[in-house]
Amino acid sequence: MQVKKYIAPTLKSATEQMKNEMGDEALILSTRVIRESGYPGQKMFELTAGIEDVVTYHETSNHTEAKKEEIYKSFEEELQKISNKVFKNSTEIEDQIGVRKLREKTDAEIETPQSFKSIVEKTIKKLEEEEIEKLIIKKIILQLKKYGKIIYTSNLDNHIISSIASMIPTKEFNVSKGLNPKVVSLVGPTGVGKTTCIAKLAIISKILHNLDVGLISIDTYRIGALDQLKVFSDVSNIDMLVAYEPKDLNEIMKQFSSKDVVFIDTAGRSQKNDEFLTKAKEFLTNANVDETYLVMSATSSTKTLLDIADKFTIFNYDSVIFSKIDEGVAFGNLLNLITKINVPSIFLTNGQVIPDDIISADAGYMAKLIYTGKVL
Ligand SMILES: Nc1nc2c(ncn2[C@@H]2O[C@H](COP(=O)(O)OP(=O)(O)OP(=O)(O)O)[C@@H](O)[C@H]2O)c(=O)[nH]1
Ligand SMILES: [Mg+2]
C-alpha cells in the first residue's frame, strides 16, 4: 500500500488533494487536527491516505510471487507505522480500514490478475448457462470490474447476485382494511396458474390478514373454469360471483362494496387472440380495477415472455407474477424480460399447494434463483 499525508486548512480540501493525486480509489486511513508552524494559530487538518496495490486486477499488470510479497511486506510496514503513530492500539486502525481480514488471507487466497481473468471467464460461462442474454452479462461483468479490487473468489458470487438484484424492481402487495375494496385482477395466457394464484392470495388475505375477501370470475369461456373457483370458494367460505357480461360487473361491485379486497379471475387467453383480449379488457374496465397482475410461467422462453408482456399491455398491468418456478431449470429468461419491460415483480409461485406455494417477490431471492438456477 502506498501511504501519503495531506495537510490542508479544511478536511474537504485535504480530501480533494488526495483524490487529485491518488485517484478515487484512495482510502482515508486517518484524519486529525494539527497545528502547523507555517500557519501560526491556524487549525490544520492532516489526512493520511492509502492506496491498495496488493490486490490489483488490471489484466496488464504482471505481479510475480516475489513482487507480491514485497508489496505485501511494505504494506504491513506502513500499516505498522501508521498504527503506532496514530492509534494506541494497532488493531484499532486495522479494523477501521478493514485490512485485518486482508492480512489474515494466505498468499494462495490473494487473486493474481490471471486468476481473476479466469474467474471472469467462468462467470460469463455460468451466466450464459443460466440463459442470461449477452448484453446483461456484459453489464454484470462491467460492474464486477468496477469493484475488482475488493472481489475475491469467496465473495464473487455475492457480488454477482447483488448486481443482478439491482436490476430487479419489485413491489409489495398492500391491502388496507376498512377502506374501499382493493380490486385486483389477474391476467395472462392459458394455464399459467391464474386461478390457483388467486386461491392462494384469497386464503392468505382471509386467514393471515383477516381481510374480507370477494372473488369474481369472468371466465365463462373454458369448460369447468367456473367450477374450479366455485369449489374453492365453497370450501374456503369466500364469496364468489360470476360476471357473464361486462355490464354485470357494475352490480357485482355494488354487492362487494364492503369487501377489503376483491380478486378477479380472468379466462386464460392466448396472447395471439386479439379479439378475446379486447373482450376481457371490456370486463375489467367496468370493474374499476385498482391493480392488474400479469401472470407468466417461469418456464416460458424469453421470446415467449416478451411476446406475452407486449400483447397484454392492453391491460395496463402494474406488476408481474412468475408462476411455476418449481418447474424451471434456468431463470435467465426472467432477467432478460425484467430488464426490458421494467415492470416490478410482485409474486413468484413455486407449486400447486394452496396457499403455501407462493412467495413475495424479493430482488435478492430472485437474483439467487437466476444466478444459481435453483429454487431455494
Ligand atoms: N408446478 C406448478 N404448478 C402450478 C403452479 N401454479 C399453478 N399450477 C398448476 O397449473 C395448472 C393450471 O393452473 P390454473 O390455476 O388452472 O391456471 P389458469 O391460468 O387459471 O388456467 P386458465 O384459466 O385455463 O387459463 C394446475 O394444474 C395448477 O395446479 C405452480 O406454481 N407450480
Ligand atoms: Mg383459470
**Ligand 1 centroid from CA 94, angstroms:** 56
Mean residue pLDDT across the chain: 81
pLDDT at residue 347, as a whole number: 98
As beta bridge partners, residue 297 has: 323
For residue 170, the 8-state DSSP code is B
Mutate-to-test residue for ligand 1 from 269, 352, 356, highest number of ligand atoms within 8 A of CB = 352
The H-or-E segment that residue 297 falls in is: strand 291-297
Q: Which of 43-57, 89-103, 177-191, 251-265 is the least confident region?
A: 89-103
- Close Cβ partners of 334 (under 8 Å, ≥ 6 residues apart): 298, 305, 322, 345, 366, 369, 370
* C-beta of residue 181 within 8 angstroms of C-beta of residue 230: no
Please name the residue whose Cα sits nearest to atom 17 of ligand 1.
193
User: Among 32-36, 73-77, 264-268, 345-349, which range has the highest average pLDDT?
Assistant: 345-349
Residue recorded with cell 454477482: 160
- Close Cβ partners of 88 (under 8 Å, ≥ 6 residues apart): none
Complete DSSP assignment for 111-160: PPHHHHHHHHHHHHHHHHHTT--HHHHHHHHHHHHHTGGG--HHHHHHHH
Q: Please state at what angle helix 332-341 crosses helix 302-311, rounded to 10 degrees.
A: 30
**Ligand 2 centroid from CA 349, angstroms:** 15
pLDDT at 289 over 60: yes
State pLDDT tens for residues 303-336.
999 999 999 999 999 999 999 999 999 999 999 9
Q: Is the peptide bond before 9 cis (omega within 30 degrees of 0)?
A: no
Report the pLDDT averaged over residues 283-296. 94
* C-beta of residue 248 within 8 angstroms of C-beta of residue 216: no
pLDDT at residue 46, as a whole number: 80
Percentage of the chain lying above the pLDDT 90 cut: 49
State the Cα torsion 222-226-227-228 to the nearest 10°: 80
State the ligand closest to the CA atom of 217.
2
Residue of 21 and 206 predicted with greater confidence: 206
* Confidence band of 86 (pLDDT split at 50, 70, 90): very low
Helix (H, G, I), strand (E, B) or coil at 279: helix
CA distances 329 to 152, 254, 299, Å, are 28, 45, 8
Other beta carbons within 10 Å of 199 = 25
Residues in the ligand 1 pocket, defined by CB under 6 Å: 190-196, 219, 222, 225, 267-268, 323-324, 326-327, 349-352, 357
> Which numbered atom of ligand 1 lies nearest the CA of 357?
31
> Which numbered atom of ligand 1 lies nearest the CA of 196?
15
**Ligand 2 centroid from CA 290, angstroms:** 20
> Which numbered atom of ligand 1 lies nearest the CA of 228?
16
Q: Which amino acid is at 367?
A: A
Q: Taking Cα atoms as reference points, which of 373, 89, 301, 323 lies closest to residue 196? A: 323
First and final C-alpha spacing in the chain: 41
**Ligand 2 centroid from CA 219, angstroms:** 7
> Grid coordinates representing 278?
379486447
State the ligand closest to the CA atom of 197.
1
As beta bridge partners, residue 305 has: none
